[in-house]
Amino acid sequence: QVVVIAKHLCGVGTDLALRLVRRWCQGAGAGEQARVKVLGAVMATCCGHKIGKDDRHIYAGIHEDDQYLRSLTGGDQDHLLHFLSVCTRCVAWRTTAGALANRITSSQVRTAELFEDALQQPRVNLLKKLFPAATEVA
C-alpha cells in the first residue's frame, strides 16, 4: 500500500508521476510481481514553463485521451503540440512578473494563469479518474 506525495516536480515530472500512479492503479505491468494498492496521491505542481519541446511529446502522450485537451485541439496531435508550445512559453509571464524592472503587465499575468489552468486540467482529470473523490486545492 502506498500514498504518493509529489512536491514541486518541475515540467513533466508531475505527468511522469501521474503515469506511474495510473500504472499502479491499473495493476502490475509485465514482469512485475504484485499489484500496488494506491491509497491516494497529493501532488504540488510547478514550473509549467519548463515543459520543453521534447517534454511536450511526453505530456501529450500521457494525456492523449483527455477530453478537455481533445475539445481544445480537435484531437489533432499537431494542434496539441502547438497549443502546448504556446502554453509553456506564456506561463513564464507569471514567474517573470516578480522580477525587478520587469515589463510584464497584469493582463499577461492573468493570461499566464489561464494557460497554467489549461496545463493543469488534464492532470486534475486524470487524478479524478483514478481517485473519484479527488479535488484541486489552490
23-35 pLDDT per residue, tens: 998 875 555 556 7
Beta bridge partners of 45: 9
The tens digit of pLDDT for each residue in 52-68 reads 999 999 999 999 999 99
Can you tell me which residue has the cell 489552468? 117
The tens digit of pLDDT for each residue in 100-128 reads 999 999 999 999 999 999 999 999 999 99
pTM over 0.85: yes
**Per-residue confidence (pLDDT) for residue 29, from 0 to 100:** 59
